[in-house]
Amino acid sequence: MAAGYNTISLGTGRKEFNPRTERPGLEHYLKEAGQGVITQLGGAHSVDESAVGNFMSARFNKQAHLGAFLPMVDKGLRYKPSISVEGACASGGLALVTGIKSVLAGTADSVLCIGVEVQNTVKAIYGADILAGAGWFSKRKEGHAYFFPGQFSDRAGAYYEKFGRDYARKGFARWYRNAIENARLCPTAQEHHNTVIDLERLALTEPDPRSFTDHLNVFDCSKVSDGASGIAVLSDEGLMRAGIAYAYAVEIIGWGHAVDDITEDPPQLTVLSTMRGAIRQALASAEISIEQLATIELHDCFTIAGILAVEALGFAAHGEGAAFVAAGNTARDGKIPINTTGGLIGWGHPTGGTGVHMAVTIWEQLTGKAGLNQIKIDTSRPYGMTVNMGGDDKTVVAIVYKRGE
């Protein structure tokens, strides 16, 4: 992969966001992200196919058939294959997998992958109803008004009961602090303008079941975001055609894609079992261990998801993820830097775009293009990983990347 590009993640928290004024639509974000990648490739002639990851534009924007927007992005893409893929919040990851498979199949040497979502088109409570489609909608009437916050509030409550409430919330608070501190270094992040001094104290605000959920507060949650990210999946020939050196690309050395039954409740509320399966697939196909990873981008739609993901990765045993995070191990200067541009909580969560944004961040880090967000990449650990989750641990895409040589 190479030639990554992110738009701003727009929503509450950004100084330029005003819900009372007209804001950019799908076309704007698709065009900005697409052209951002195409320019780095030297033009649309370097693109053979395109894949767009999106979750709910048909409801948020009353627009489907996103693959056919690519000729609008650049006239040079007219009559070239383009497809839109959907897997809830893992739609971006599925766009990447689509590109990878096309290159491996030999049907393309260069696939433009874009992930996009524009969801500040409705009030939050109506948006919650739309986003509930990432779960089994037949359970919607039994669920919380804020359906997915309610789902992960239940996971947090189970974690409290099993391992201790104060213990867990300290881990959640440190996760939030890490997210905002990293986002402040990233100009495109939704929380880039956050100036709160004591982030952990803010994060420890008591949940209020009367206005939100039983076990999570609003700081435990990713925000409603509009944005897009793009990156190219390339063969060696595709890299040469675009004039990109190996040092400015990352090699895809393994991936995993796991799905569970959307009609069933999680087997264990304190375990992300599908995520664990996808991670194991990815590491096995890459033939590396987690100790060889320099950095990870993972799906922290909620703080509890971040804690459970650390345990799914194997950095901490079951129930010890909160302590691992609270000790600073996942901070940008910690044992394993995670979500170095802020993750879903700090950078933002334009649902269908998130998986591609993760890939762009890893590409930036491994090629030294991360600017103020850059961390030190040890030559003995030249690998990165993205873990993109759809729904309540129902579709997960994990990809392993290696610094180009």
pLDDT at 108: 98
Confidence of residue 112 (pLDDT cuts 50, 70, 90): very high
Arithmetic mean of pLDDT, 217-238: 97
- pLDDT(176) > 80: yes
pTM of the model: 0.97
Across the range 168-194, mean pLDDT stands at 98
pLDDT at 143 over 80: no
- pLDDT tens, position by position, 40-80: 999 999 999 999 999 999 999 999 999 999 999 999 999 99
pLDDT of residue 144: 79
Q: What is the pLDDT, as a whole number, of residue 392?
A: 97
Percent of the chain's residues with pLDDT above 90: 95
pLDDT number for residue 269: 98
Q: What is the pLDDT of residue 140?
A: 82
Provide mean pLDDT across the span 166-171. Answer: 98
Asked whether residue 141 carries a pLDDT value surpassing 80, the answer given is no
Q: SS3 sequence, the chain?
A: CEEEEECCCECCCCCCCCCCCCCCCHHHHHHHHHHHHHHHHCCHHHCCEEEEECCCHHHHCCCCCHHHHHHHHCHHHCCCCEEEECECECHHHHHHHHHHHHHHHCCCCEEEEEEEEECCCCCHHHHHHHHHHHCCHHHHHHCCCCHHHHHHHHHHHHHHHHHCHHHHHHHHHHHHHHHHHHHCCCCCCCCCCCCCCCHHHHHCCCCCCCCCCCCCCHHHECCCCEEEEEEEEECHHHHHHHCCCHHHCEEEEEEEEEECCCCCCCCCCCCCHHHHHHHHHHHHHHCCCHHHEEEEEECCCEHHHHHHHHHHHCCCCCCCHHHHHHCCCCCCCCCCCECCCCHHHHCCCCHHHHHHHHHHHHHHHHHCCCHHHCCCCCCCCCEEEEEEEECCCCEEEEEEEEECC
Give start-end residues of each CATH 3.40.47.10 domain in the chain: 2-122+225-247, 136-223+253-400
| pLDDT, the chain, mean | 97
Q: Any idea which fold 2-122+225-247 has?
A: Peroxisomal Thiolase; Chain A, domain 1 (3.40.47)
Residue 216 pLDDT: 97
Residue 384 confidence (pLDDT): 98
Give the pLDDT confidence of 310-330 residue by residue, as tens digits: 999 999 999 999 999 999 999
Residue 94: per-residue pLDDT? 98
At 88 the pLDDT is 98
Which CATH superfamily is 136-223+253-400 part of?
Answer: Thiolase/Chalcone synthase (3.40.47.10)
Query: Is residue 124 scored above 90 in pLDDT?
Result: no
